[in-house]
Structure 1
Amino acid sequence: MTRPKILGLTGSIGMGKSAVAAMLRDLGVPVFDADAAVHELQGPGGALLDEIEAAFPGTTGPQGVDRAKLGAAVFGNREALVRLESIVHPAVGAMRRAFLKDNAKAPLVVFDIPLLYEKGGHEGLDAVAVVSAPADVQRERVLARPGMTTEKFEQILSLQVPDAEKRVRADFVIDTGVSLEETGAEVERIVRALGPL
């Protein structure tokens, strides 16, 4: 049975991955957004709320997971983080398999996985594209986010594989430090290289 080619899309915080994912969707490429899947599973009425509440009492409510409380429960606690991941990852995997089945006839699909290299999500992919921008552009974008501090930004960066390493390991590098038109043209070139538009 033939299946679509699978492109993994990743990039560090503030690199413009969401904008690139939108460009791919505009080209008609189905995109599976791992973060959106997690939000759905943990949001109001989410399928994982009972299991998360049982493992981390007091971290959920009518609005779903209280991200601040859950974050506090697992932050700096390797064992707790592994427990949370053992609840979340299989459910996201099931959603990804369903997405692949629903889009079995597409020539190309994209798995948008923020921590692709950090969590070993690159197995089974035909290619990986990393979204990248100069460090000063990245810093400016991230620090403009509400509630973001330099300390938070540095902490997030310390947990991510460095951009330079991602660029070396990827099959494609999408530069978002240029105009949207230039980035869009690069995205289109990659889609044409991997599957017909």
Structure 2
Amino acid sequence: MLRIGLTGGIASGKSVVAAHLLERGAVLVDADALAREVVEPGTEGLQRIAEEFGAGMLDDGGRLDRARLGAAVFGNPERLAALNAIVHPLVRARAAAITAAAPGDAVVVQDIPLLVETGQGSSFHLVVVVDAPDDVRLQRMLEHRGMTREAARARMDAQATRGDRLAAADAVLDNSGTVQHLLVQVDRLWDGRLVPFARNLAAGQRAARNGGPVLEPHRADWAQQAARIGARIAAAAPEQILAVDHIGSTAVPGLSAKDVIDLQVAVPDLAVAAAIAPLLSAAGFPAVRDVEADTPKPNAPDQGEWLKRFHANADPCRAVNVHVRAHGSAGWRYALMFRDWLRSDPSARSLYEAHKAELAAEHAGPDSTRSYAEAKEPWFTDVAWPLMAAWARATGWEPPSYGS
């Protein structure tokens, strides 16, 4: 199933989005509703709150007095942390149970106000953020919730910043305008991304890619996207994956590239790569080819040193290639050396960019991406290898140790 984390600041319109996704067919898991459910009378949550904060937090009917509890924790980080330590694990357990009961091809949307604050982004296939400028949200709280400016500001300040939420987002829904404008965006997201993503995920297949090798100027957000996606991959098999590194052209500032994020997953050996393949697929990165070989470079070890497993993203709106290689293998080392050489040497970047531009023009066309990639291979061996090997010797370059 496809798991979506939905979040947004107070008065951003998140509840409107959640309700519309439910109408479109999503399975909705509402964290606020669950937070109320797990502290109902007779629950473990309510008992633990009474033990931690005192019986005075209960009203005459034995129910939680939310206003009194809120006053006890608001502005007190230590007491708030104690409350969260009770409620959050219970909410997550209940959310996990609802998710596990959903159909295999479902789109499960978890509405989590504090998703960014609690660092849950890597638990989902996508994080969707409902966004509105701070001044717009403030005005809504004043007009529609009857809050004072000071109270509204305090609520906003207690949440993640707008910048932090946007940095965590795979998709952003702009709610600075009308409700209708917001709902149109939700429909577009559902029809164009969530439904086909869920379909690909259920079928265990990568998303189709259309278009030829179109190069675009380097984008600063590629590194941020790679880090976010890499964390998601690492979370799929934390005991087996040693590291996830951003490689390829999008990892080199200043270098034009196709809008495809390349990530290298380091594992102890290819047996582990095979074992985690189903976990990567469930995380949204199905296997494309079980085992394939990179082109061996001159004076390099045997063919086995260049083997890898190859996965790609099932998300139709974010192309990602995942190269799973054995830590310490020649192919693993080459990918990191090539990236670092290009990052450090402007002349190398210019040389490679000119070569790519020439080949992109030669292989323009809707179905020519693979031929473009194959045409680059001789350059990696004949031109890049001797230059970067000399650079590595001169600089003493070594690949990362990953803490070993």
Q: Normalization by structure 1: what TM-score?
A: 0.89
Cα distance in 1 for partners of 2:86, 2:13 equals 29
Cα distance in 1 for partners of 2:93, 2:20 equals 25
Identity of aligned residues (%): 39
Q: Deviations over 1:5-48 (max 9, x none)?
A: 11111110111000000110010101111011011222455542
Q: Is the aligned partner of 1:143 residue 2:107? A: no
Deviation at 1:128, TM superposition (A): 0.7
Q: Deviations over 1:133-185 (max 9, x none)?
A: 23333122111244511111111121222223322331111112233332222
Q: Which has the larger radius of gyration?
A: 2
Q: Name 1:195's counterpart in structure 2.
A: 195
Cα distance in 1 for partners of 2:77, 2:150 equals 21
Q: Name 1:125's counterpart in structure 2.
A: 124
Deviation at 1:129, TM superposition (A): 0.8
The change in CA–CA distance for 1:87 and 1:165 in structure 2 (over 3 A counts) is closer
Moved more, 31-40 or 44-53: 44-53
Q: Name 2:156's counterpart in structure 1.
A: 157
Contact kept, 8 Å, 2:116 with 2:164, in 1: the verdict is no
The change in CA–CA distance for 1:82 and 1:162 in structure 2 (over 3 A counts) is closer
Q: Name 2:8's counterpart in structure 1.
A: 11
Task: Give the letter aligned to residue 118 of structure 2.
Answer: K
Q: Name 2:84's counterpart in structure 1.
A: 85
Q: Deviations over 1:41-80 (max 9, x none)?
A: 2245554222111111110232621112112222333332
The gaps in structure 1 that reach 5 residues or longer are none
Contact kept, 8 Å, 1:43 with 1:63, in 2: the verdict is no
Deviation at 1:114, TM superposition (A): 0.5
Deviation at 1:108, TM superposition (A): 1.3
Cα distance in 2 for partners of 1:15, 1:63 equals 34
Cα distance in 2 for partners of 1:148, 1:43 equals 27
Cα distance in 1 for partners of 2:35, 2:118 equals 15
Q: Name 1:174's counterpart in structure 2.
A: 173
Cα distance in 1 for partners of 2:134, 2:85 equals 33
Contact kept, 8 Å, 2:2 with 2:125, in 1: the verdict is yes
The change in CA–CA distance for 1:165 and 1:75 in structure 2 (over 3 A counts) is closer
The change in CA–CA distance for 1:78 and 1:133 in structure 2 (over 3 A counts) is closer
Deviation at 1:191, TM superposition (A): 1.9
SS at match of 1:48: helix
The gaps in structure 2 that reach 5 residues or longer are 199-404
Q: Is the aligned partner of 1:55 residue 2:52? A: yes
Q: Deviations over 1:82-123 (max 9, x none)?
A: 221121111101111111112142431111110111111212
Moved more, 86-95 or 161-170: 161-170
Task: Give the letter aligned to residue 57 of structure 2.
Answer: T
Task: Give the letter aligned to residue 12 of structure 1.
Answer: G
Moved more, 30-39 or 127-136: 127-136
SS at match of 1:119: coil
Q: Is the aligned partner of 1:98 residue 2:97? A: yes
SS at match of 1:123: helix
The change in CA–CA distance for 1:173 and 1:83 in structure 2 (over 3 A counts) is same
Cα distance in 2 for partners of 1:189, 1:99 equals 26
Contact kept, 8 Å, 1:130 with 1:170, in 2: the verdict is yes
Cα distance in 2 for partners of 1:15, 1:102 equals 30
Q: Is the aligned partner of 1:34 residue 2:35? A: no
Equivalenced residue count is 194
SS at match of 2:136: helix
Cα distance in 2 for partners of 1:155, 1:52 equals 24
Cα distance in 2 for partners of 1:63, 1:150 equals 34
Moved more, 9-18 or 68-77: 68-77
Cα distance in 2 for partners of 1:184, 1:27 equals 11
The change in CA–CA distance for 1:17 and 1:66 in structure 2 (over 3 A counts) is same
SS at match of 1:148: coil
Cα distance in 2 for partners of 1:85, 1:165 equals 20
SS at match of 2:139: helix
Cα distance in 2 for partners of 1:98, 1:115 equals 20
Cα distance in 2 for partners of 1:147, 1:63 equals 29
The structure whose RCO (Cα within 8 Å, separation 6+) is larger is: 1
SS at match of 1:32: strand
Cα distance in 2 for partners of 1:47, 1:190 equals 38
Cα distance in 2 for partners of 1:63, 1:28 equals 37
